[in-house]
Amino acid sequence: MEQTAWTGVMMDGLPGEMLLVLAFLLWMVFGLILVSNPRNPLNQWCFASGMLFSVGALKEFIFYSLGPKLVQKGIWTAAFSNALYSVLSAVFYYLTMPTVVVFCLYFHRLGQTNRCLFRHLRPMVYLPALAMAIIFPCTRILSLQHETAFCLAVGIYNWCYGLAGTGILIHVLISERLSANFRQRSLAAVSLLVPLWFWMLSAFPYHALGIPNLSKVWQLNLVVILFVLFYYIYHAFRGGIWGIRFRRETYDWSSGKQVLQKNAQFVNHALKNDLAKIEWCTDFLAAQGASAREVEILRRSASHLKEFISRTQLYSQEITLAPEACDVGMLLQGLAEEHALAGTRAAVRVVCCDSEPLLCDGAHLEEALRNLLLNAVDAAGEKGEVTLSYCSLPNRRRAVITVSDNGCGMDAETAKYIFEPYYTTKNGEKNLGLGLYYCWNVMNAHGGSIRVSSEPGAGSTFMLLFPIKRPKRKKEAGNGADPHSGRGGRP
């Protein structure tokens, strides 16, 4: 009887060892994601999702390959194997997709934008799982898998979660398409969505439609997970993925600037104390009739350190925005005139500019543009030219400010690192390597990004991309407002 039961359950598919390999690969991929940043909840919940995915392969290996051998040796009974399979299947069917949706909520940063909603929504995501466990008990999944009602219910249950999670990820990627972190977040989304949707398409339709010959198509996830593993390693050796980059250093793509801020605060505190002593000694030596040349060297060094402290504090601190409608044309024209009055070597001119105001922090934008303009003038040289432009594209929901020069340009390898703090190719006391990092920080705070196009000998073009949000419709009526005036309610 036991042998007949085992034979009836067995179906063609991958050898049991290959199912174990599939589980191992899932542990490897999602383990790498966790190790890349173990304290980040985003990585933690992605790891949890991967572990739950691996239960699907693991239960098949235990039930079809390991179980019969243990039953024959008398280590456990067929009834225990059936119960274990049912419980593991319930964990796989009921908990995997809710965990994926919680990961998507973290990906959406809902915990930062609406903590109250997030705190209540996270446990509520698992309520349908509880309902499924009550309707279809966890210990009866093995027998229930042959019933159409159960297959339909489980398929609809998981598909609803899959569509909800995918919708959240796509919404995030669309809304952050101009963000400096867009590439990292899109890579993270793809690495989860590919195996998720292959499993969704291969695991459930055949049950609901009663197609017996496709019962093991889901095992081709082995090939999909191999693809994801190579995808992960490939991008880890290039621009980085999931917060890790193998080629140069490990970094936190979601909050790495906190390290720079702490380092800057520590260095500035230490320098200020010693700088006060140097200035006092310099004044004392000057009063004692020391050589004017040596005193001047000390004063210049002290002045340089003061500027270093001031600029490091400005460029490494958290960007706090005070957005308002900014006349970009007037700002660009003012910067061009400023450089003309200063007698810079390169000619600076505004080539085109839309009249549409830009909602941004004008002070930070001006400082960022000043950094870009100084770099462009320096690169353009004696007879070079720098052009400024501003274009508002409301239909594409973006605005673009460009700073272009016809100077020396740079190669692709240099362009990879120019936005990293303290990276500079220039010589001189005033070149701290923080200007472009500050520009990147400003654009990231605006939800936009900064991009560069450059070739050696062909100049460089820096583009500041700002998102333009669609204006919200005003609500009608309420609080005594005239519903026909067009001004009722809040905007």
Contacts of 397 (CB under 8 A, 6+ apart): 467, 468, 469, 470
Is pLDDT of 434 > 60?
A: yes
Q: What pLDDT shows up at residue 343?
A: 66
DSSP string, 175-229: HTTTSTTHHHHHHHHHHHHHHHHHHHHHHSHHHHHT-GGGTTGGGGHHHHHHHHH
User: In which residue are the tokens 């200020």 written?
Assistant: 272
pLDDT digits (tens, 9 = 90+) for 55-92: 988 888 888 888 888 888 888 898 999 999 999 999 99
Q: pLDDT at position 225, please?
A: 78
Instruction: Tell how far CA 131 is from the center of its chain.
Output: 34
| Residues, the chain | 491
CA angle in degrees (0–180, nearest 5) for 9-219-47:
115
CB-based contact 264:316 (threshold 8 Å): yes
Mean pLDDT of all residues in the chain?
78
Answer for the pair 373, 348: CB distance below 8 angstroms, yes or no: yes
- Cα atoms found within 13 Å of the Cα of residue 331, Cβ hemisphere only: 24
| Identity of the amino acid at 152 | L
Please compute the mean of the pLDDT values over residues 143-171 and round it to a whole number: 90
β-partners of residue 403 are 388, 462
Of 8-12, 307-311, 394-398, the range with the lowest mean pLDDT is 8-12
**For the stretch 93-130, what's the b/e string if a residue is b when 16 or more beta carbons lie within 10 angstroms of its beta carbon?**
bbbbbbbbbbbbbbbbebeeeeeeebeeebeebeeebe
Per-residue pLDDT, averaged over 1-28, amounts to 60
Report residue 10's pLDDT band, with 50, 70 and 90 as the boundaries.
Answer: very low
Give the pLDDT score at 253: 44
Specify the amino acid at residue 114. N
As a dihedral over the C-alpha atoms of residue 75, residue 79, residue 82, residue 88, rounded to 10 degrees, the angle is: -70
C-alpha span between 27 and 242 (Å, rounded): 16
CA 104, distance to chain mean position in Å, is 12
The architecture that CATH gives domain 5-239 is Up-down Bundle (1.20)
User: What pLDDT, on the 0 to 100 scale, is given for residue 320?
Assistant: 75
- Decide if 165 contacts 101 (C-beta within 8 A): yes
Residue 135 CB coordination number (10 Å) = 10
Q: Residue 33: which pLDDT band, with cuts at 50, 70 and 90?
A: confident
Confidence tier at 250 by pLDDT (50, 70, 90): very low
CA dihedral 216, 217, 223, 228 (to 10 degrees): -110
Q: Where are the domains of the chain?
A: 5-239, 254-316, 324-467
What pTM does this model have?
0.59
**Class for the domain spanning 324-467:** alpha beta
Question: Span 94-103, mean pLDDT?
Answer: 94
Q: Give CA separation, 104 vs 74, 119, 124, 329, in Å.
A: 44, 14, 14, 40
pLDDT of residue 474: 46
- Confidence (pLDDT) at 184: 80
Question: Average of pLDDT values for 123-143?
Answer: 94
pLDDT the model gives residue 465: 92
Note the pLDDT of residue 211: 60
